[in-house]
Amino acid sequence: MYLMSLAIIFAPLIGALVLLFSRDLTEHYSSIIANISIGISAVVSLVLLFPYLSGDGTSEEYFLYTWYLTGDYHFQLGFLVDSLTAIMAFIVSFISFFVHIYSITYMQKDISFKRFFIYTNFFTFSMLVIIFSNNFLQLFIGWELVGLSSYLLIGFWHKKESAIKANLKAFVVNRIGDIGLLLGVLLVFISTKSLSYDILFKNLTILTNEVVILFNYQFEIIPLIAMLLFIGAAAKSAQVPLHFWLPDSMEGPTPISALIHAATMVTAGIFMVARLSPLYDLSFYVLDVILIMGLITAFFMGIVALVQNDIKRIIAYSTISQLGYMTVALGASFYSFAIFHLLTHAFFKALLFLCAGSIILKCHHEQNINKMGGLRFSMPITFVTFTVAGLSLIGVPGMSGFFSKDLIIDIFKYNNNYIIYYMLVVSIVVTTLYTTKIFFKVFFGTNKLKVQKSNDLEHNKTLLIPLIVLAIPSAIIGWALFDTLVFNHFFSDSITDGNTLSYFYQNYIINSVNFFLHSFTSLSFLALLTGLLLSYFHYYKKSKISNNILVKIPVIKNILLNEYGFNQLSNSLIPNNIKKISDFLWKKTDISLIDNTFVNGSANIVSSISNKIRLLQTGYIYHYAFIMIIGLLFFLIIFYDF
């Protein structure tokens, strides 16, 4: 496991470094190096996962070296290998590998082809550092590296002003979250004198009654740590109100969107909360906050997707909404359910973005779905794979997304939390509407762009292979892993679902076949049919009865387009004000204070004094003798005791 873990983590980094320091590499060899390095990570992660799927895997902790040692404090770098690590490493490396293959063709005409693969390899490495971390120090390092990578990738086309604003927004929002994360990590260190996960978990019972005084208020230390850490998770995983950076991240190349939204970055927050499940199981009020935040995100961000016309932004808001589902599961202490949905979502969301990328290429980089149409004839393979991903997203029974999403929804039905249950059921209708909106407007209707049927896209292997391969788990991985991941204690060595699962075991049908059959009698299935029916009449039949009549009302439509005010607020506060602050710091602090006052000012003072002292050098001996006599008399008067 030790060597396999090293290979998984460092193979992408080695690939990035080889590309960085090699000169005159052609696009062909650059892509080969990048893909081989990610491929090694993907293959080894799959080998690492097999023992856990068969029930033979064990939790292992390895230490690389002691980074810092002072007194009783040891800061060690290492990694933790368990079921959660294995499944997350597989998700990240596998999807990253096929995104890399797809990018060979997608980015081939870009002048920064090699730079793109350097960034993506480094991005993958950064996420793997988070996954394999066994301590908060290493987690924070990986966390910041992911933030840096995302900044570079979102602003990859840095000559576009919109890309600059987008990566600036992502950077600032994630720094807000990082402040919370850093404070939480510091509080862990103060409380336990260590940054190790294991030591924190062993000291939880001792810390249960501990309090800390801040601003003359007493706070229980465990909930405070949990809340501060979750602030970092909320920013990374785009939870309201720290979500508004994610739709703008679409300014980067489409393969980057697939990476960010499916396998890296946004999943980091979900993973961290699941990793720290023993801490959160003792933080009941924090769990309530997480639950409410996730519910708001899942429900209201899905509605925003209804009024979008940019294909990538619709899918982006879909990501935010689905992350809300995962967060809801975390808040209900069903951490394994959240990871299960993270798994299925990763495959069909990556597939959706890659299909969107092919569509954008086909439509000559047009992203407005209202200008598309009739592409099912010119892009049959993309049509089929997009359909598979879309069906999984809306939760059609039997598709992967159905198993994970409906499982989360049913938590609240069987726990009698009907308000949450009904809101999530309504969200199914919303999800169905915006997904089928893309489906009908892109693949059906008239060919508005006059796209030719015959072109190379549908015959390009590097574009098609990732779509076909990702379509398979998008369809069947729910069937394959439902029993294993959810009900066979797969995460018993890494996640504590508390006592919440026991009730579920006793009152629920716990195998994939019965769950599938049961779904046809559920309210979720009725919501799905409702959404499909409304979408069919509005988008396909063009009925006057609108399935989203509310968004036809100008006031409401404008509110949704402005994302309930978040868009306007973020655009006015972050890009403009950050520029003003930067200008102030540059002109007043850097130029005026540092350069002119300290650097140039001190030089000018020395020069002025030197010029005046220089005048004392007359060259006459009697002048120097006179000064010496005056100086001698001065010292005699001061120091001689008369």
- The pLDDT tens digits for 117-131 are 999 999 999 999 999
Burial label, 352 (beta-carbon count in 10 A; 0-12, 13-18, 19+): buried
User: What would the two tokens of residue 545 be?
Assistant: 């009865």
Specify which residues 60 forms β-bridges with: 81
Q: Lowest-confidence range among 251-265, 470-484, 522-536, 605-619?
A: 605-619
pLDDT the model gives residue 639: 66
pLDDT the model gives residue 46: 93
For range 501-530, the mean pLDDT: 76
Range ranked top by mean pLDDT from 175-179, 308-312, 325-329, 586-590 = 325-329
For range 259-277, the mean pLDDT: 88
Instruction: Tell me how far apart the alpha carbons of residues 20 and 125 are, in angstroms, rounded to a whole number.
Output: 15
Assess whether pLDDT exceeds 70 at residue 454. Answer: no
Q: Which residue has the higher pLDDT, 608 or 503?
A: 608
User: What would the two tokens of residue 635 be?
Assistant: 């010292």
pLDDT the model gives residue 502: 53
Instruction: Write down the mean pLDDT value for the chain.
Output: 84
Instruction: Tell me how far apart the alpha carbons of residues 214 and 596 are, in angstroms, rounded to a whole number.
Output: 40
Q: Measure Cα distances from 148 to 112, 153, 168, 175 in Å.
A: 18, 9, 11, 11
- What is the number of other CB atoms lying within 10 angstroms of the CB of residue 25? 15
356 neighbors 311 (Cβ within 8 angstroms): yes
Q: Lowest-confidence range among 104-118, 292-306, 420-434?
A: 104-118
Instruction: Tell me how far apart the alpha carbons of residues 516 and 493 are, in angstroms, rounded to a whole number.
Output: 28
Burial label, 642 (beta-carbon count in 10 A; 0-12, 13-18, 19+): exposed
pLDDT the model gives residue 279: 92
Using pLDDT thresholds of 50, 70 and 90, give the confidence band for residue 449: low
CA of residue 597 relative to chain centroid, distance? 43
pLDDT the model gives residue 456: 64
For range 287-313, the mean pLDDT: 90
Q: Residue 425: phi, psi to the nearest 5?
A: -65, -45
Using pLDDT thresholds of 50, 70 and 90, give the confidence band for residue 290: very high
pLDDT the model gives residue 430: 92
253 upstream amide cis, omega within 30 of 0: no
CA-CA-CA-CA torsion sign (464, 470, 474, 480): positive
Q: Measure Cα distances from 177 to 171, 229, 239 in Å.
A: 10, 9, 11
Q: Which residue has the higher pLDDT, 564 or 188?
A: 188
| Burial 552-561, CB ≥16 within 10 A → b, else e | eeeeeeebbe
Specify which residues 65 forms β-bridges with: 77
pLDDT the model gives residue 422: 92
pLDDT the model gives residue 140: 92
Sequence-separated (6 or more) residues with CB below 8 Å from residue 15: 33, 34, 36, 37, 38, 117, 121
Q: Lowest-confidence range among 151-155, 422-426, 526-530?
A: 151-155
pLDDT the model gives residue 550: 45
pLDDT the model gives residue 455: 58
Q: Lowest-confidence range among 484-498, 530-544, 551-565?
A: 551-565
Sequence-separated (6 or more) residues with CB below 8 Å from residue 443: 373, 374, 375, 376, 379, 383, 386
User: What would the two tokens of residue 611 be?
Assistant: 């010029």
Instruction: Tell me how far apart the alpha carbons of residues 443 and 385 are, in angstroms, rounded to a whole number.
Output: 12
pTM here is 0.86
Assess whether pLDDT exceeds 50 at residue 499. Answer: no
336 neighbors 495 (Cβ within 8 angstroms): yes
pLDDT tens, position by position, 90-103: 999 999 999 999 98
pLDDT the model gives residue 424: 92
83 neighbors 491 (Cβ within 8 angstroms): yes
Assess whether pLDDT exceeds 90 at residue 615. Answer: no
